[in-house]
Each structure stands twice: as structure tokens, then as C-alpha cells.
Structure 1
Amino acid sequence: MHQSINTPSIKTLSAGTQALVGHQMPEIQQEIATQLGVEAPEEHRAQQLALQHVESADLILGMERQHRSEAVKLSPRALRRTFTLRELARIAELVPDEDIAFSEAANLVENMKALVEAAAVNRGLAVSFEDPEDDDVVDPYRRSKQTYKESRDQVVSALGGIVTYLNRAAV
């Protein structure tokens, strides 16, 4: 007898608000992605953010506040699960355990949704940067190699905090 186990999966998708649809990422960005362990970055193709992306996502992370706004314009109901990358990293540091409502019967995906909700609840409590642009990742497109490295460092730093936060779902 074969028994099937329904294991939840986590899927990621990348889409832009001003995407050059079908284009590869710039060569320097492919090099950085390879250095960071991304497999086959040359296969990545840009796609435009669409309503179905926003409505089907449990968490939406924009690189800039404008990206977050564009996602919410497509679907205002997405506000509570839409953040900039750096904003979520900042909030994640502050979320107390008592604000996370894990269910004993929940699976990993449901626990991650609880973490997203806890971040939304704590959004207003997180101290904002003095300059709101500090929630944005610098856009390196068509800029210097140093700007690409600055962008990389901002992403890597923010992702470290977010991964640590989301790992709390694996209880």
C-alpha cells in the first residue's frame, strides 16, 4: 500500500514593477548571484508583476517602497503581507514570541503565515529610519560595479535577518 503525504511547499517568484520582460539580469548581477550560490542565474528572465502574483502570495517583498506600493495598488488586500525587504528585516528583529500565533496542528507554511501576520501587527511599533529611503535597496541597474556591490550587501544583510525570523516557523 502506498501512502501519500501532503507536504507543504514554499515557492518563490521574482517579478518587477518596470520589468524588461524576458531579459536576463545584467552580467555583473549574474556574477554576484553565482558568487552567492545561486544556481544558473543566466536562466532567470524578467517578468512583470501582475495581479495574480500579488493575490496568490503569502508574503511580498519589494526592494523599494515604490515596489511595495505597486503591489498594494494591484491588490489592496495585500497590504498586511507586503513589505520592503529591509523593512521586514527591521521589523523581524522586534517581534516578540507572544505575538506569534502558531497552532499546534499547523504545518511549516501555516506557521510562516503566522510570522507574516505577526510582522504586520508589529509594523507600526518598529522605529522607522530617519530617512524613509533607508527601507529601500539601492537600485544598481546601469550603475557602477560598486553600486551593485552595495545593493548586494543590503540584500544579503536584510535576508539574513528575514531567514532567521522565518526559521522560527520550524518549531
Structure 2
Amino acid sequence: MLSLFDKTTDRSTFNILVVCTGNICRSPLVESLLRNELSRLPVQVSSAGTHALVGQPMHAPVQKIADEFELPDPGLHVAQQLTIGMLKESDLILAMDRGHRREIVEMLPRVSRYTFALREFARLADQVSNEDIAIRSGHSSLDLLRGVVESVAQLRGTLPLLDDPSQEDVIDPYGKDQATYRLSVGQLLPAADASARLFNDAVGEI
């Protein structure tokens, strides 16, 4: 039924992987946001960088923003390098921009089917209904979560092209001023919220 996922697993969790460059700004913030908003679902959220500053904590300006949102333990984050093993274990991969998505697919082409730029996923998610998800899934929480990704993936290529394709990217604020950090958050926050809302609505009261 869920042809998007050709791997079999006995896992009881749905794994979301968030990817940026250094894994100290954008991806750990989205990781924390999604973990917080999906806390009642059987979802595991992690993050990594394509060129990670391995071992580094969340960048201080981003941690300040995370604290403002009262996200759980943002200070515990430790940057890690993206690996093929992480990609293989993921049910959904959310990249911070189109360049990251390209790098991910080059590492493991088969994950292209469930790898999206975050803002791309959110734009498509707005067009998905619970009926769409139900058609493509079973009745367990894991089935429904995978059904969300299946439904979003089916919409690729069906929406009008953006006048500016960079609107699907989240700007990299690293090393820039506080205004750029706020701009980056202003791009990723609505996208993370829209993505989380779709998953929560799909699972409902199950």
C-alpha cells in the first residue's frame, strides 16, 4: 500500500531527519521545534549537517531563540555529520535548502522520494487532506505518519512553480547579524508548524 517505503522495519517510531550545513543553527532549531510539536506521536526527530561542525553545541544566537520559544533542552544539542546510515533509517528527510537536498540525494539516490526542502514540504502539506492520507495508509499511527509523506510526495510537480525558487530555502544565518537570524527563523518556523500540524491532524485521536 505504501509504495514510497520499500524497506521493511520492525521499528515502532517514525524517524524524521533534519539536515543543514553545520548542524548548529537551522537544523537543530527545526529538530527542537518538531520534537516539541510532535511529542505525543511515535516520532523520533534528529538532525545532522552535510559539513557539520562536529561536537559543537547549538550556535549561541540560535539557542537564545530556542530559549525564547521554551523548547526542551536546546543546550544539549551536539552537532553530528550526516551519514548514509542516518539516511537509511529515516522515514522523512527535511533539508534546509535545495542544495542540501541535492547533496543528500547524491549520497543515497533512493531517498529522493522522501527527501524535501522544509519549505517545499510545508507548501505541499497545505494541499493534503486527511482523506488523501487515509487512502494511502493503514490504521496504525506509523501507517498514518507514512501516509502523510506518501500524500505529500504525490503532489510534487502538481503545484504552480514559484516565481523565485529560493523561496523554498531557509537562509543560512551563521556568522551574520541578529536580523538575519530572525529572518531565518521567520522562514523556518511557519514551515515547521505547517508540517507538524499535518502529522498531528493525520493521526488525530488514534
- Offset at residue 68 of structure 1 (A): 1.0
Larger gyration radius, structure 1 or structure 2: 1
| Distance (whole Å) between structure 1 residues aligned to residue 159 and residue 130 of structure 2 | 15
- Offset at residue 102 of structure 1 (A): 4.8
- Number of matched pairs: 165
Corresponding position of 2:47: 14
Give me the CA root mean square deviation: 1.7
Deviations 1:46-99 (A, max 9, x none): 111110111110000000111111111121111111001100010011124443
Higher normalized contact order (CA 8 Å, seq sep 6+, divided by chain length): 2
Corresponding position of 1:33: 66
- Offset at residue 168 of structure 1 (A): 2.8
Corresponding position of 2:29: none
| Distance (whole Å) between structure 1 residues aligned to residue 156 and residue 105 of structure 2 | 16
Q: Structure 1 75/15 Cα, relative in aligned 2: closer, same or farther at 3 Å? A: same
> Which residues of structure 2 form unaligned runs of 5+?
1-10, 14-41
Corresponding position of 1:138: 171
Q: Which amino acid aligns with 1:66?
A: G
Corresponding position of 1:3: none
Taking structure 1 as the reference length, the TM-score comes to 0.89
Asked if 1 retains the 8 angstrom alpha-carbon contact of 2:130 and 2:202, the reply is no
4+ long deviations beyond 4 Å: none
| Distance (whole Å) between structure 2 residues aligned to residue 134 and residue 89 of structure 1 | 12
Greater fraction of residues in strand: 2
> Which residues of structure 1 form unaligned runs of 5+?
1-5
- Identical pairs, percent: 38
- Offset at residue 134 of structure 1 (A): 0.8
Asked if 1 retains the 8 angstrom alpha-carbon contact of 2:130 and 2:201, the reply is no
Asked if 2 retains the 8 angstrom alpha-carbon contact of 1:89 and 1:161, the reply is yes
- Offset at residue 169 of structure 1 (A): 2.2
| Distance (whole Å) between structure 1 residues aligned to residue 61 and residue 140 of structure 2 | 39
For 1:53, what is the secondary structure of its paired residue? helix
- Offset at residue 164 of structure 1 (A): 1.7
| 2:146 paired with 1:113 | yes
Q: Which amino acid aligns with 2:161?
A: S
For 1:125, what is the secondary structure of its paired residue? coil
Asked if 2 retains the 8 angstrom alpha-carbon contact of 1:51 and 1:75, the reply is yes
Corresponding position of 2:80: 47
Query: Superposition pairs for residues 121-160 of structure 1, below 5 Å?
Result: 121-160=154-193
